[in-house]
Structure 1
Amino acid sequence: MEFLVIVAVLLSFTGCHAKIKDSSSPMPLALSYWNNKLPTTPIPTLLLAHLSSLEPNSPSYFKQTSTLIQPLTKIIYTHITYTRNTATSNSTKPKVTVSAEPMFFLQKTLSIGTKFTTDMVFWKSTETLYFLPVVVANKIPFSTKSLSASLKTLHITPNSEMGLTMKETLEVCESSAMTGESKKCLTSLESMIDYTTSQIGTNDLNVFVTNVSKTKSGLQQYSLASISFESKPTSRFVACHPIGYPYLVYFCHQIKDTRMFQLSFKSDEGNIAEMVAVCHEDTSEWNPEHVSFKMLHVKPGGEAICHFMTEDEILWIAAN
């Protein structure tokens, strides 16, 4: 009963999220879980910035909640970067859309000196979302069948922009996986760690994220300076993408016949970009209307198609 009250207090603000406390705050429980489960893996700054220090078991929890919640004013989310072939206009399955077109390229063009003319802006939410404490996240229904209950708990109107986003997200999360794909939507950092380690088969992991250091904006010519990491053809890795919800939720999946690269780019203007790229060697199940086929003038099942990971996305791979 006490915990239900905690959930109600935490979520009594329409579309809300918890704000990180200052450096003198106790270590978030999720960070303790990370250190215990992944002792050899440093947590990336990206994830550290998304941790909430709300502690449901703390005597001062109610005071923390009242002072650390602020309204969610804006959310921009990235869907997975492909559309399933079964999702046609006549299909009852959700059609996954792309909120911003990633930069696609063919794997065969990936070599030192390759040039891209771009602004190198890798979109992410302008409003930082936070993982809920796992004990709170696990108490909130997360399914299309329970959508009405979730909307009521979160005080969100069904036909509002966020209400419709939640519905679409849940449909994506529950849609069937492609052949050779394992996928799951994860509502806490702890569940992301558990899913990733179970899929890869080890707790000794490397975590890759994209990082763009911009000194000047606008279109520039970037050259590939180095390939600092390239996965083996047999390597197993998990890619995680943030997906629209009032609090932080990641869509994570493992796909067969996929390679990953860590690439260093430098622009003529001095900007530096450390990029994570994923190359899909089997696109036979992708929607023939997918934007990448039109951009690259190839067909499903043809040449390997690559795309960059955005600054909000995470890639996990075994360290050895």
Structure 2
Amino acid sequence: MVSGLASLNFLQLLFLLVSAYGSGVNAREMTELAAHSASHMDQMNHSLKIFFTMNELKAGKFFPTSLPMNDPSTSPPLLPREEADLIPFSSQELPQILDYFSFSHDSTQAKAIEDAVKRCETNPIKGETKLCATSLESMFDFVRSIFGLEMDFQVLSTTHLTKSIATYQNYTILKVPKEIYSPKMVACHTVPYPYAIFYCHSQETETKIFSVPLGAEDGDRVEAVAACHMDTSHWSPDHISFRMLGIKPGSSHVCHLFATDNLVFVPKSTH
């Protein structure tokens, strides 16, 4: 479902995220959740079969993709800022991070944590503003820094309208996707980590947001959120979307679906 949370305030956002990710953390949970990092990353790689052009965003379009349901019981916990700020989070502090979580420095978990931290430290591309939000408060602050303190906004998410255990299957666009008012947008993607971290970013270039109703071969129904990036000229030539679509940076727009554990913030429409 696309969540129409107009005039969203901090408490509403807290309720939304705690419902999805829970709150609080302990050492046992951290160990168990980090142990799933590698499989989560494999799942992310699998779900990269989601790129397409805007010409394909039409009723009746058939394509295979991965849109597994988000399971709150296995999602990393969401930490409050005062707790998250006490945990080291930088590549220079990697040994301290691994010691904090009691992970061996040559373990799979250590590699997953290192990859996550380094991803968060990469420089933004031209026209991009980014932040890895380690807490609800830092995410909220980032969104407000992009939209301004006075602008109302809503949160969008890809949601299964029916229960499904499939992780990869064929979907069909059921009707013409609806474009959503989005003169600005902030996308927050989950990063595999022992606690909830969101890679949030916003770009100056135009991005169009759509609500896409999907039907799957097993009867599953999904209200998906899609983004179409209209200018890819500043993207890395190695971006996987270019290889999948057989295009070059700047030669075409690139669209993709958001996973069910991603959040998309857009201004509230005044129309």
TM-score (norm 2): 0.80
In structure 2, distance between residues paired with 1:237 and 1:116: 27
| Deviations 1:161-216, CA, capped at 9 Å, x for gaps | 11111112111111111000000111111111111111122452210111123558
What residue identity is the alignment partner of 1:294? R
Correspondence for 1:87: none
> Do 2:57 and 2:177's aligned partners in 1 also have CA atoms closer than 8 Å?
no
State the structure with more CA Rg: 1
Correspondence for 2:62: 116
**Using CA pairs below 8 Å that are at least 6 residues apart, which structure has the higher relative contact order?**
2
- Work out which of the residue numbers 225, 228, 250 in structure 2 matches 1:276: 225
What residue identity is the alignment partner of 1:239? A
| Deviations 1:58-91, CA, capped at 9 Å, x for gaps | xxxxxxx699888334234459x9xxxxxxxxxx
Correspondence for 1:188: 135
Q: Could you tell me the percent identity over the aligned residues?
A: 29
In structure 2, distance between residues paired with 1:220 and 1:66: 39
Equivalent positions of 1:257-276 (< 5 A) are 257-267=206-216, 270-276=219-225
Q: Kindly state the Cα deviation for residue 220 of structure 1 after the two structures are TM-superposed.
A: 3.7
Moved more, 296-305 or 66-75: 66-75
Unaligned runs of 5+ in 2: 1-7
Correspondence for 2:239: 290
Equivalent positions of 1:1-320 (< 5 A) are 37=10, 43-44=15-16, 47-52=18-23, 71-72=32-33, 73-75=35-37, 76-77=39-40, 98=45, 100-111=47-58, 113-118=59-64, 120-122=66-68, 127-202=74-149, 204-212=152-160, 213-214=162-163, 217=166, 219-232=169-182, 235-255=183-203, 256-267=205-216, 270-320=219-269
Structure ranking higher in helix proportion? 2
CA pair 101-302 structure 1, distance change in 2 beyond 3 A: same
CA pair 67-284 structure 1, distance change in 2 beyond 3 A: closer
> Do 2:169 and 2:217's aligned partners in 1 also have CA atoms closer than 8 Å?
no
- Paired residues in the alignment total 255
In structure 2, distance between residues paired with 1:106 and 1:288: 17
In structure 2, distance between residues paired with 1:172 and 1:285: 18
In structure 1, distance between residues paired with 2:28 and 2:107: 26
What residue identity is the alignment partner of 1:247? Y
Alignment root-mean-square deviation, CA: 3.2
Unaligned runs of 5+ in 1: 1-34, 55-64, 82-97
> Do 1:216 and 1:269's aligned partners in 2 also have CA atoms closer than 8 Å?
no
> Do 2:173 and 2:212's aligned partners in 1 also have CA atoms closer than 8 Å?
no
Q: Kindly state the Cα deviation for residue 121 of structure 1 after the two structures are TM-superposed.
A: 3.1
CA pair 237-123 structure 1, distance change in 2 beyond 3 A: same
